[in-house]
Amino acid sequence: MASSKASRLGEEVWKTRMDKVNAELVVLTYGTIVAQLCKDFDSDYIEVNKQLDKMGYNIGLRLIDDYLAKSNTMRRCSNFRETAEMIARVGFKIFLNITPTVTNWTSDGKQFSLIFDENPFADFVELPDDGRAQDELWYSNILCGVLRGALEMVQMQVEAHFVSDVLRGNDTTEMRITLIRYIDDELPPEDD
Amino acid sequence: MSHVGSGKAASSKEQTGLRYPSNGKTIYHRPLNRTKTAELSQAAFAYLFSEMVIYAQRRVAGIQELEKRLNLQGHPIGLKLLDLLLLREPPRSQTRPLTIIALLHFIKINVWTHLFGRQADRLEKSSNPDTPDEYMIVDNEPLVNAYISVPREMSQLNCAAFVAGIIEGVCDGAMFPARVTAHTVGGKEEGEMWPGKTVFLVKFQPEVLEREALLGKG
Amino acid sequence: MSYYFAIIGTQDNPLFEHEFGTSKQGGDGQARFGDQARHLNQFVLHSSLDIVEEVQWTTGQLYLKVIDKFFTSYISCFMTGGNVKFLLLHQPNATASAPAAGTPGAASTSSASRSSTAVGANPTSPQTEEAIKNFFYEVYDNYVKAIMNPFYKANMEIKSPVFRQRVAAAGRKYL
């Protein structure tokens, strides 16, 4: 699907087919999740990142059905580039009303970046000034897990991680996504 | 009281431990009203909330502990909303609630409308003479229950426990300490109008009623 | 005029403190508390909390104006929704003689000609009240931004240097 068509689809689904809630309810809920994890894991931010990724993965496994149903796309994306555009213009749009920019493709077309000009989860947030949070915590890491889980359900094994975050003092918030392989349906081994 | 490092009115910037983007934007630069009417998908809330519950379930033993934990997670949100909503009020109505009724109206109207897009349905005082400290906020169709394809972890009671925690945070913050619990009372019979009806029971501490009585006389 | 500003939490614990002087009328923004006064300031503010507790139930206003006085120091108060108190102790500088305590218009000799509109020269004038109110509201805006942070917990100290800069800027702007 062409990018502009994807944008129109995302906009239409967001406007007409998604029930909405006050953004601050969602943002505050996410904030309480992260704060609770930091407390439970005693500010072991590496562990918190892992937990957020796991939670995101669980969400992704379920969210994909929602996405497919709402976006009404019957056919599979023909290549990874198209997948990237759909993620940015439809996926993020219909759930979070944002459209990150797809960029920084590698020449083999297997790796790209998502640049987030807006990140609703990060509203109101300032990381703890404990000398570690800004070096270790990826506040929005749940999003990496969501992508990983959702794409796995449509036969793509990907790896996703943040490389920069304005909450860490960087100028941009950027997530890097790599296609590891397409998952083929394998025939079950024959019974002996 | 203990001494807090007091800064002098120096014009030079103090050494900051946090890094900021080169545009210098911090949370203090962002206008508080920017996301006042912003929206996200209900699905986003539902997914996040269900993960919150699943995670909590693994760390507690039993339904009551789970509800308590969810209540605790909602509490700080109530505290934040109290001042956020008050700050956003136009000057004429920007007042701290001084009575139980004023506080409950603030919750029924301001808090509910902000979180759920509409007022709560009913506010009642307990008619039981043994419990004059109990009030009920009734929501016929809690928004958080309206999401279809609810995973089993996200039962109505769990959502309501979280909201009860938010309410409790507002009460505690405003100096009306209370215990707030959620009860689903919607019947299961056919034709029941509000199957998901939820009652938030607000039970105020004795000192709140004592103060109320004292102020009433003044 | 010298100012001592504190934010007091719900456990009577200080969350933030800041001393400054007036920037108006050629003031250099530096506080001029004597050593003794400085030690007393915390104590004075703390003891005014009892009065705040009474006053807060008589009106729903956030800005409570002057609620206490200690010799030549006036204490103004602003109460947040969450029962956190902003207290501002304002004290005319020693060179500005205040002959009788509490006499309004007992302006300093140095600014006598402009005392009616001088913020700070008269601690209880309507202009001063208005200026302090504006100061408090600007601090309130920044305070709410600080507490909306999911990592901020009730009654935590506010340590952000950016917050401090904002309070200082509000002080320079209004006081």
Sign of CA dihedral B87, B91, B92, B97: positive
In this complex, do B44 and A124 lie within 8 Å of one another by their Cβ atoms? no
> Which of helix, strand or coil describes residue A69?
helix
Which residue type, as a one-letter code, is found at position C161?
P
Mean pLDDT of chain B: 85
Give the pLDDT score at C62: 96
pLDDT in the model for residue B10? 38
Q: How confident is the model at residue C113 (pLDDT cuts 50, 70, 90)?
A: very low
Question: What amino acid occupies position B81?
Answer: L
List subunits contacting chain B, requiring 3 or more Cβ pairs under 8 Å: A, C
Please name the member of A32, A124, A129 whose beta carbon is closest to the beta carbon of C148: A124
pLDDT of residue C112: 39
Q: B43 and A66: CB-CB below 8 Å?
A: yes
Respond yes or no on whether ipTM tops 0.90.
yes
> How many Cα atoms occupy the beta-carbon half-sphere of C77 within 13 Å?
26
Cα(A152)–Cα(A146) distance, rounded to whole angstroms? 10
In the structure encoding, which two tokens stand for residue B94, read together? 């920007």
Alpha-carbon gap, residue B45 to B116, rounded angstroms: 12
Q: How confident is the model at residue B190, as a pLDDT?
A: 61
pLDDT per position as a tens digit, C2-50: 899 999 999 999 999 999 988 887 788 888 887 777 778 888 998 999 9
Q: Sign of the CA dihedral C94, C95, C96, C101?
A: positive
- Token pair 């640049």 is found at A115
Task: Quote the pLDDT of residue A90.
Answer: 95
pLDDT average, residue stretch A6-19? 94
Is pLDDT above 60 for C73?
A: yes
Question: Are C54 and B32 in contact, with CB atoms under 8 Å apart?
Answer: no
The predicted structure's pLDDT at residue B12: 36
- Confidence (pTM): 0.89
B61, pLDDT greater than 70: yes
> What pLDDT score was predicted for residue C103?
43
C106 φ, ψ to 5°?
Answer: -80, 70
* Per-residue model confidence (pLDDT) at position C33: 80
> What's the pLDDT band for C123 if we cut at 50, 70, 90?
confident
Report the range of poorest mean pLDDT among A158-162, B62-66, C113-117: C113-117
Query: Closest Cα partner for C164 from A9, A143, B7?
Result: B7
**pLDDT at residue A174 greater than cutoff 90:** yes
- C15 interaction partners in chain B (CB closer than 8 Å): 4
**DSSP state, A16?**
H
Banded model confidence at residue C120, pLDDT cuts 50, 70, 90: low
Chain B CB contacts of A168 below 8 Å? 19
User: In terms of pLDDT, which residue wins out, C170 or B150?
Assistant: C170
A-interface mutation test, from C143, C144, C145, C148, most A Cβ less than 10 A away: C148
Instruction: Check if the beta carbon of residue C87 is closer than 8 Å to that of residue C55.
Output: no
- For chains B and C, what is the number of CB pairs under 8 angstroms? 113
How far apart are alpha carbons B86 and B82 in whole angstroms? 6
Taking phi over 0 as left and psi of -120 to 50 as alpha, with beta for the rest, C144 belongs to alpha
Residue B168 confidence (pLDDT) above 50: yes
Alpha-carbon distance A187 to A189, whole Å? 6
CB B23 within 8 A of CB A9: no
Residue A8 to chain B, least CA–CA distance (Å) = 17
Q: What are φ and ψ of residue C87, in 5° steps?
A: -120, 130
